[in-house]
Amino acid sequence: MFDRQILEHFDWWLFLGLLLLMAIGFTNLNSASEAAGYTYQWKQLQWYFAGCILMLPFIFIDYRILAVYSLRIYILMAVLLIMVLFIGKTVGGSQRWIPLGIMNLQPSEPAKLMMVIVLSSYFYHDDRSSYGIFDLWRPFFLTAIPVFLIYRQPDLGTALLLLAIFGSIVFLANLRWTSFLILLGAAAAFIPLGWKFLKPYQQRRIEIFLNPEKDPFGGGYHVLQSKIAVGSGQLYGKGYLAGTQSHLNFLPEVHTDFAFSIWAEEWGLIGALALLAIYFLVISRGLAIASQSRERFGAFLAFGVTAMLFWQAIVNIGMVIGLMPVVGIPLPLISYGGSSVVTTLLGIGLLLNIRARRFMFQK
C-alpha cells in the first residue's frame, strides 16, 4: 500500500528529465571517447547504473531521518575531506581523490549533497521567521570548514560552489534585506583581499577569463578553442561524431570540463537549447517540489538540491562559453566522473522522495 502511494505521487516529469540527461551524457561521451581514444562512455554507463541502484533507498526511505543523522553526516564529510589531504591521490596538481582499489572517491562531490542535508537540518531545527547577519555565524562556520578543506586540495570551483549553495539556502531561510546588503558589500570588499589567497594558477585563470586573447596559445587556449567549438556548431551542428575541434584534438578535456562544447559543436544551437530545456525542466520541477513541500525540512532539502544542480550547470556552461573562469565544475550527468554522477543521482532521488511524500504531511 505504501509503495503504491509512493508511485501514485511519483514525479514522472523529473524522472523523464533524469533519463534524458543520462541518454545525452552517454551519447556525448561516446563521441568524446572516440576523440580521446578511450572508452569513457562505458565506464559512465556503469556509474549511471550504480547511481540508480543507490538512488532507490533515497526515494523510498523517510527522508526526514536525514535530519536526525545530520551531525554524523557532517562528521563523515569532514573526515573524508581531511583524509584527502593526507592520503589523497594527486592528479594534475590537485589532491582530490581517495584511492579505494576498484575506484577513486572524490569526497568534494558528495560533500555538496552532505552540506545541503546539514544546512537544511540546521534551518529546520532553528525555526525563526527571518535571519539577521549575526544569526548566520553557526551555519556559516559549518560551511566554512569544508570550504577551507576543499580549497586546500586545491579545488576553488567546488569551494565556491559550496558557498553558492549556502547563499541559496540562506535566501530561502528569509535573510533580512539589510543583512543581505551588508553581506553583498562585504563580499565585494573581500575580492581584492581574496586575490592574495589565490594560487598563481588560479590568478592566471581569472586573468585569462578577463582577456583570453592575451595568451591564445597558452592559458587562454582552452577557452578560445571551446568558444570556437560552440560557435562553429551554428544552428544545426556539424553532425554526430563530426566535431572537428574535438576529434582533431584542438579542444581538450571534452569528456569532463568541456562536455558542453562538443555537444554544441555537433548538435548546434538547436541541440544546445534542447539540453538547456531539459535542465530547465529538472530545475523547475525541483523548485516546484520545494514550494509544495508540506514541512520545513523537505522544503529546504529540495531547494538545496535544486540549487546544487542549478549552480553546477550555470558555472560549467558559463565557463565553456567564456562567461566565467574555468574552475573545473562538472556538468551534471553529462561530464564524465563517478563521484559527480552518483552524487547527482542521489540528490534527484531525494527530490523524488520529497515529492512522493507530500501526501503524508499536513500543512
Q: What is the pLDDT of residues 300-309, one digit of tens each?
A: 999 999 999 9
Q: Which of 181-190, 243-252, 261-270 has the highest mean pLDDT?
A: 261-270
Are 106 and 97 within 8 A, CB to CB? Answer: yes
- Which residues, 6 or more positions from 99, have their beta carbon under 8 angstroms from its beta carbon? 87, 89
pLDDT category, 132, cuts 50, 70, 90? confident
Q: What pLDDT is recorded for position 1?
A: 39
Q: What pLDDT is recorded for position 323?
A: 85
Question: 18-22, 199-203, 213-217, 278-282: which has the minimum mean pLDDT?
Answer: 213-217
What are the backbone angles phi and psi of residue 96, rounded to the nearest 5°?
A: -125, -10
DSSP label at residue 215? S
Q: How far apart are CA 306 and CA 347, in angstroms?
A: 8
Q: What pLDDT is recorded for position 344?
A: 97
Are 289 and 355 within 8 A, CB to CB? Answer: yes
pLDDT category, 177, cuts 50, 70, 90? confident
Q: Which of 51-60, 193-202, 244-253 has the highest mean pLDDT?
A: 51-60
Residue labelled with grid coordinates 547504473: 49
Q: Which three cell numbers stand for residue 132?
A: 539577521
What are the backbone angles phi and psi of residue 210, rounded to the nearest 5°?
A: -70, -30
DSSP label at residue 165? H
Q: What pLDDT is recorded for position 70?
A: 96
C-alpha 177, offset from chain centre: 27
Q: How far apart are CA 177 and CA 76, in angstroms?
A: 34
Q: What pLDDT is recorded for position 363?
A: 46
Q: What single-letter amino acid sits at 240? A: Y
Q: Which residue range(s) make up the domain with 102?
A: 2-360
Per-residue pLDDT at 217 exceeds 60: no
Residue 119's closest CA among 73, 55, 63, 79? 73
Q: What single-letter amino acid sits at 184? A: L
Per-residue pLDDT at 195 exceeds 80: no
Q: What pLDDT is recorded for position 114?
A: 97
Residue labelled with grid coordinates 562544447: 261
pLDDT category, 80, cuts 50, 70, 90? very high
What percent of the chain lies above the pLDDT cut of 90?
55
Three-class secondary structure of residue 173 per DSSP: coil
Q: For the residues 24-31, what does the mean pLDDT come to? A: 94
Q: For the residues 208-230, what does the mean pLDDT come to? A: 72
Are 143 and 75 within 8 A, CB to CB? Answer: no
Q: Each residue of 201-214: pLDDT tens digit?
A: 667 767 766 666 66
* CB atoms near residue 163 (< 10 Å): 15
DSSP label at residue 212? G
| CA within 13 Å, CB half, 164 | 19
Comparing 110 with 175, the larger pLDDT belongs to 110
Total number of domains in the chain:
1
* CB atoms near residue 319 (< 10 Å): 25
Residue 93's closest CA among 177, 13, 200, 18? 200
Q: What pLDDT is recorded for position 362?
A: 52
First vs last C-alpha separation in the chain: 23
Question: 39-43, 98-102, 214-218: which has the minimum mean pLDDT?
Answer: 214-218
Are 166 and 303 within 8 A, CB to CB? Answer: no
Q: How far apart are CA 352 and CA 12, in angstroms?
A: 9
Q: Which of 9-23, 176-190, 315-329 has the highest mean pLDDT?
A: 9-23
Question: What average pLDDT is seen over the chain?
Answer: 88
